[in-house]
Amino acid sequence: MNTHINDDKILAVRRFLLNLQDNICQALEDQEQAGGVDGASCAKFVSDVWERPDGGGGRSNVLSDGMVIEKAGVMFSHIHIHALPPSASERHPQLAGAQAQAMGVSLVVHPKNPHVPTSHANVRLFVATPADGSDPIWWFGGGFDLTPFYPVMSDVVHWHRVAHQLCQPFGDDVYPTFKAWCDDYFYLKHRGECRGVGGLFYDDLNTTTQGWDFGRCFAFMQAVGQGYLDGIIPIFNSNKNTPYTADERAFQLYRRGRYVEYNLVYDRGTLFGLQSNGRTESILVSMPPLASWAYRYEPKMGTPEFELTDFYLKPRNWLNLTDKYNPQHPQNT
């Protein structure tokens, strides 16, 4: 089994990531084009190429104030690190202070319509060189997850079926393992609820942890990157023209507050970026343009807002669910 990594392999991952960024931005711009009003100019991504003083850089693509998408950030970075920060080495104490490079694409999309979920995806590669001069250690990580405000059962099932299908070529245990990891990771402990309806999350993916060589790990990264688009675009198409009320918009902003809480308190990517002297604008681009908080808000039983926390924001086996939400249904136990 080939565990060696060289510059050619790193460059191949970099090329894929830049192409993935382009493809995702184009697909999201296509949503703006399809959702625009005749004669109106459609929002497009603005590309910001930057360099990092400590080494490396990136390309930050941001779309704002669209007809369909209120804000989207699709970020590529490839940075060099002189000493790994605590957020990266806590699971690898032997790498404390090691030199490293990290590259990835990370995105968050905040649609305008409350009936279109917020979505997030990330794929990344770390390569660290231990201080003792031993061979470099590499690992992949990433995944995608969905955060709806007014969920539709068929959309959630579709999202998880896409995740399941992309995992199948890599083993029957991959989806259930990485799905459960996603449920555990995107959990707000102080609120006692999941951030959304989950998807996939994985980290430390390499020969040691999964028994996969570099090529297989890279192939999985590519499948996850494409899987995000396969999952989210049909959901956009189904919901972006759904009428909504001022109250539904207010609830969307209230629930966005939970998203902010998670990203600032728990998200390892945010902590890693800040601790490694990363580019603050790129790190915090995941924040929604508008969010709100309310003191002791409690949705009324029987409302769609109650349904969100009562049923959807709990780990479930979504693959075979077909019925609409019913508080008396056995699946709501």
Write out the E strands in 164-240. 187-188, 193-194, 198-205
Residue type, 225: G
- Residue 113 counted as an annotated binding residue: no
How far is 307 from 254, CA to CA, in rounded Å? 15
Q: Residue 73 contacts by C-beta under 8 Å, 6 or more apart in sequence?
A: 60, 61, 62, 63, 107, 108, 282, 285, 286
92 appears as a binding residue in the annotation: no
Q: Print burial letters for 293-304: b (CB count within 10 Å at least 16), e (below 16).
A: eeeeeeeeeeee
The question of whether 120 is a catalytic residue gets the answer yes
Cα separation, 142 vs 131, in Å, equals: 26
Token pair recorded at residue 261: 């809480």
What are the φ/ψ torsions at residue 114 (nearest 5 degrees)? Answer: -60, -15
Chain Cα centroid distance, residue 6: 28
User: Is 160 annotated among the ligand-binding residues?
Assistant: yes
What is the distance, to the nearest Å, from the Cα of residue 328 to the centroid of all Cα atoms in its chain?
32
CA dihedral 269, 78, 230, 139 (to 10 degrees): -70
Asked if residue 123 belongs to a known ligand binding site, the reply is yes
CA angle 64, 67, 70 (to 5 degrees): 35
Burial class (CB within 10 angstroms; exposed 0-12, middle 13-18, buried 19+) of 266: middle
Bridge partner list, 138:
127
Cβ-contact 259, 288 below 8 angstroms: yes
Q: Which of 4, 120, 158, 164 is catalytic?
A: 120
Distance CA 201, CA 75 (A): 18
- Annotated binding-site residue? 120: yes
Show which residues are catalytic: 120
Residues marked as binding for substrate?
106, 122-124
Residues marked as binding for a divalent metal cation?
110, 120, 160, 190
Residues marked as binding?
106, 110, 120, 122-124, 160, 190
